[in-house]
């Protein structure tokens, strides 16, 4: 077990390092940098580009933010500061990245965990039900809806819901996570209630594909178990049907699902990016998109890295969990 843990941990560290390089390099790929984009979009518009005045401003900006140094020096500085908790200053908002990203990280995590909880509480009972009714119309309905849930891109679902709600309640916006009066408000009970009244729609949209997939996993796992001789034995001994199903096969069928637990949360986080843009939620998604487009180096690198690290940690946790649950995994190579 120790060897397995060490190996998994070493790989996770390697992955995080690779992600940190990737997230820093990807952002440098587009032609031009923050300085030129800034001059073009914020100061004088395209007319200013290429003029001596623009060059002066750009050089000054580059010197100020260290953008004139070679890439690996920039990366080294960034990484060194990052380890020490200094994520740099957002070039666009002129505030520490830590504050900007931190504000939205809480909302992102709340949304992702609500989604994960929703996906789990919906998918397990539905999966069990669907397996028990195999080849009946209930099963076919669930399967069909599940296929549809997997096939419909979540941002389309978000659009349709927005449209419906716009039609039904023109005054009530479902975009965002707060009503206007609570948008800048201290945390009170009212704000929390307001948050959850908005959250469930977003959680529903983000969670559809995940729920559909979990239902199919649960159903397939349970079907494998239901035909085993021990279930027949339990039935033959006269246990009532619910007890037979819930006490034994369901518990075994849940095992593979448990291993996805650590993974689900970060998955929901990165999955929510596009939906967040559509529903204009105050999460990392829209911020990432905006900072990428304005080439706000440190903000986008930090968000990419944070999302990557959360995914790696999630995978690591579920792998360790799986190692505990299933001895066969520990001994593979």
Partner 1 sequence: MVVEEYEGGLLDSDGRRGALAAPEDEESVFVATQWQLMWWRFRRHKLAVASAFILSLFYIAAIGAEFLSSSDPATSVVDVAYLRPQKIHWFDGGSFSPHVEKVTGARDPKTFKKIYAVDPDVKIPVSFFVRGYEYNFLGFIKADRHLLGIEGGEEGEYNRAAPYLLGTDVLGRDMAARIIMGTRISLSIGLVGVTMSFFLGITLGGISGYYGGWADAVIQRIIEITRSIPTIPLWVALAASVPRDWSIIRLYFAITIILSLVAWTELGRVVRGRFLSMREEDFITAARIAGAGDIRIIFRHMVPSFTSHVIAAATLAVPFMIISETALSFLGLGLRPPAISWGVLLQATQNVQSVAVYPWLMSPSVPVIIAVLAFNFMGDGLRDAADPYST
Interface residues with partner 1 (CB under 8 A)?
11, 14-15, 18-19, 22-23, 26-27, 29-31, 134, 143, 147-148, 150-153, 155-156, 159-160, 162-163, 166-167, 175, 209-210, 213-214, 216-217, 219-220, 223, 256, 259-260, 263-264, 266-267, 269-271, 273-274, 277-278, 288-289, 292-293, 300, 303-304, 307-308, 310-312, 315, 318
| Helix extents (H) in 29-70 | 34-38, 52-65
Closer residue to partner 1, CB minimum distance, 144 or 331 = 144
CB of 213 to partner 1, least distance (A): 4
Question: Are the CB atoms for 277 and 293 separated by under 8 Å?
Answer: no
Greatest Cα-to-Cα distance within the chain, rounded to the nearest angstrom: 90
- Of the pair 192, 293, the CB lying nearest partner 1 is at 293
Q: How far is the CB of 216 from partner 1 (least distance, A)?
A: 4
Q: Is the alpha carbon torsion for 77, 311, 324, 7 positive or negative?
A: negative
Cβ proximity to partner 1, 109 vs 239, nearer residue: 109
Residue 58's CB is within 10 A of a number of other CB atoms, namely: 23
Q: Between 13 and 60, whose beta carbon lies closer to partner 1?
A: 13
Q: Least distance from C-beta 111 to partner 1, angstroms?
A: 14
For partner 1, the closer of residues 267 and 298 by Cβ is 267
Supply the minimum distance, in Å, between the C-beta of residue 277 and partner 1.
6
CB atoms within 10 A of CB 267: 22
Q: Among residues 145 and 239, whose Cβ is nearest to partner 1?
A: 145
User: Cα–Cα distance between 287 and 281 in angstroms, integer?
Assistant: 10
d(CA 196, CA 136): 36
> Nearest-CA neighbor of 264 among 320, 210, 201?
210
Distance between CA 158 and CA 178 in Å, rounded?
A: 17
Residue with smaller CB distance to partner 1, 282 or 314: 314
Beta bridge partners of 96: 89
Q: Are 110 and 205 in contact (CB under 8 A)?
A: no
Contacts of 145 by beta carbon, 8 Å cutoff, 6+ apart:
212
Concatenating the DSSP letter of every residue in 155-189 gives: HHHHHHHHHHHHHH-TT---SSSS-GGGTT----H
Name the minimum Å distance from CB 254 to partner 1: 13
Q: At its nearest, how many Å lie between partner 1 and the CB of residue 192?
A: 26
Nearest approach, Cβ of residue 20 and partner 1 (Å): 11
């Amino acid at each position: 077990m120790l060897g397995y843990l060490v190996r998994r941990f070493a790989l996770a560290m390697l992955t995080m390092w690779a992600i940190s390089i990737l997230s820093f390099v990807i952002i440098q790929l587009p032609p031009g940098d923050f300085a030129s984009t800034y001059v073009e979009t914020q100061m004088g518009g395209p007319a200013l580009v290429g003029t001596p005045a623009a060059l002066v401003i750009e050089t000054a900006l580059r010197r100020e933010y260290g953008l004139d140094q070679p890439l690996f020096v920039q990366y080294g500085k960034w990484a060194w500061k990052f380890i020490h908790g200094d994520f740099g200053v957002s070039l666009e908002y002129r505030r520490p990245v830590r504050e900007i990203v931190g504000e939205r990280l809480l909302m992102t995590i709340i949304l992702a965990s609500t989604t994960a909880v929703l996906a789990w509480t919906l998918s397990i009972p539905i999966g069990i039900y669907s397996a028990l009714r195999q080849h009946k119309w209930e099963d076919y309905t669930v399967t069909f809806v599940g296929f549809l849930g997997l096939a419909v891109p979540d941002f389309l679902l978000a659009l349709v819901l927005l449209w419906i709600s716009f039609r039904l309640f023109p005054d009530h916006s479902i975009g965002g996570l707060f009503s206007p009066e609570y948008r800048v408000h201290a945390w009170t009970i009212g704000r929390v209630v307001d948050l959850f009244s908005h959250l469930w729609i977003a959680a529903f949209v983000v969670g559809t594909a995940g729920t559909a997939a979990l239902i199919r996993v649960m159903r397939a796992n349970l079907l494998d178990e239901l035909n085993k001789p021990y279930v027949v034995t339990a039935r033959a001994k006269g246990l009532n049907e619910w007890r037979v199903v819930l006490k034994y096969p369901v518990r075994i069928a849940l095992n593979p699902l448990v291993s996805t637990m650590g993974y689900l949360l970060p998955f929901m986080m990165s999955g929510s990016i596009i939906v967040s843009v559509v529903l204009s939620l105050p999460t990392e998604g829209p911020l990432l998109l905006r900072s990428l487009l304005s080439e706000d180096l440190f903000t986008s690198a930090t968000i990419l890295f944070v999302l990557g690290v959360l995914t790696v940690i999630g995978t690591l946790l579920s792998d360790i969990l799986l190692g505990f649950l299933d001895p066969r995994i520990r001994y593979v190579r």
